[in-house]
Amino acid sequence: MTFRENANIGAGRASRGGGGGGGLAVGGGIGTLLLALVVMLFGGDPGAILGGGQQTQQGSTQGGDLDECTSGADANENVDCRMKATMLSLEDYWTSAYPEADPTSATLFSGSVDTGCGQASSAVGPFYCPLDRKIYLDTSFFSQLESQLGSDGGNFSQMYVLAHEYGHHVQNNTGALQASQQDRQGPESGAVRVELQADCFAGAWAGNATRTRDSDGNLLLEPLSREDIESALSAAAAVGDDSIQERMQGQVTPHTWTHGSSEQRMGWFMRGYESGDPNQCDVLNAGSVDDY
Ligand SMILES: [Zn+2]
């Protein structure tokens, strides 16, 4: 159990879709996708476009009926619903915390997927493509998380991965993401700092989701213990690392690279979580990556 069982996570909120969320100015034609998770099937055809008031399903391999995605209990039960609810919460949070960032979308795929950064196979793991400004998550990675974790079946670990990737999207808007390209090597490098900031951003969102009531007075998530958080972060790191993909064409490439130590990742996540303030996440200008 991760979402509060009675939390309202779907119905009324999805209905604001179609025009983009939160009064943000968005280009015509993509509004319906902004709230959406697009479930990609083998070959990369969209199997289901969720959110935005539109639902089409063409044989989604998992998750089933997203009509049953209105409560926290539904999100705890169903990975598609869980990701949709997490995405909506992230979008709400960042629309308020950093209005300059436009909403993004996440694509769940299995097999392979075509992206603005090239074609990706499920071997790549979760990643953010700065060129098309979207998040890509392969379902086999998520299944591995579920099989490896105990108490909540990997639910929070999955949500953390999505929140971390959303953090990269925020960084694409702040300009911080460039630091990962300009300074790639070493434990104090820009690349490591960008990763640790994405963890801190994920923590800031999670802290808000456990403590801030929505307009109906409900909290979204159950409180997270330090142990819950440690197990979620370590599971995600054990199963695979994300990568920020910037190639213009050709294959998206998996690469192993450092995200900082597990202590550093935990430290920065907790700094975000406890403060609930993304302004506490200025890893790029910290004297050291250990100054969390
Ligand atoms: Zn990352």
Question: Ligand 1 center to residue 128 CA distance, Å?
Answer: 8
Predicted local distance difference test score (pLDDT) of residue 153: 64
Question: Ligand 1 center to residue 11 CA distance, Å?
Answer: 30
Predicted local distance difference test score (pLDDT) of residue 89: 93
C-alpha 167/C-alpha 160 separation (Å) is: 10
Residue type (1 letter), 48: A
Question: Ligand 1 center to residue 168 CA distance, Å?
Answer: 7
Q: Which long-range contacts (CB under 8 A, 24 or more apart) does 24-30 make?
A: 24/95, 24/99, 24/102, 24/103, 26/102, 26/103
Q: What angle do the packed helices 155-174 and 139-148 form, to 10 degrees?
A: 140
Question: Ligand 1 center to residue 166 CA distance, Å?
Answer: 9
pLDDT, block means (10 residues), the chain with 292 residues: 81 39 26 31 29 30 60 88 92 94 90 89 85 89 71 79 94 90 82 93 95 82 89 77 56 61 91 96 95 94
Per the DSSP assignment, residues forming a β-bridge with 128 are 135, 244
Question: Ligand 1 center to residue 237 CA distance, Å?
Answer: 10
Instruction: Tell me the Ramachandran region of residue 232: left when phi exceeds 0, alpha when psi lies from -120 to 50, beta otherwise.
Output: alpha
Predicted local distance difference test score (pLDDT) of residue 182: 81
Question: Ligand 1 center to residue 156 CA distance, Å?
Answer: 16
Parallel/antiparallel/unpaired status of strands 37-40 and 106-109: parallel
Question: Ligand 1 center to residue 196 CA distance, Å?
Answer: 8
Question: Ligand 1 center to residue 258 CA distance, Å?
Answer: 10
Question: Ligand 1 center to residue 39 CA distance, Å?
Answer: 21
Q: What is the pLDDT of residues 23-58, one digit of tens each?
A: 222 222 232 232 333 333 222 223 222 222 232 333
Per the DSSP assignment, residues forming a β-bridge with 135 are 106, 128
Question: Ligand 1 center to residue 184 CA distance, Å?
Answer: 13
C-alpha 93/C-alpha 218 separation (Å) is: 15
Question: Ligand 1 center to residue 155 CA distance, Å?
Answer: 19
Question: Ligand 1 center to residue 104 CA distance, Å?
Answer: 16
Predicted local distance difference test score (pLDDT) of residue 122: 81
C-alpha 126/C-alpha 261 separation (Å) is: 19
Predicted local distance difference test score (pLDDT) of residue 34: 29
Question: Ligand 1 center to residue 291 CA distance, Å?
Answer: 19
C-alpha 75/C-alpha 145 separation (Å) is: 16
Predicted local distance difference test score (pLDDT) of residue 121: 85
Tell me, letter by letter, the H, E, C secondary structure of the chain.
CCECCCCECCHHHHCCCCCCCCCCCCCCCCHHHHCCEEEECHHHCEEEECCCCCCEECCCCCCCCCCCCCEHHHHHHCHHHHHHHHHHHHHHHHHHHCCCCCCCCEEEECCEEEECCEEEEHHHCCEEECCCCEEEEEHHHHHHHHHHCCCCCCHHHHHHHHHHHHHHHHHHHHCCCHHHHHCCCCCCCHHHHHHHHHHHHHHHHHHHHHHCCCCCCCCCECCCCHHHHHHHHHHHHHHCCCEECCCCCCECCCCCCCCCCHHHHHHHHHHHHHHCCHHHCCHHHCCCCCCC
Predicted local distance difference test score (pLDDT) of residue 262: 84
Q: How far is CA 23 from its chain centroid?
A: 21
Predicted local distance difference test score (pLDDT) of residue 273: 96
> How wide is the angle at C-alpha 81 spanned by C-alphas 100 and 241, nearest 5°?
65
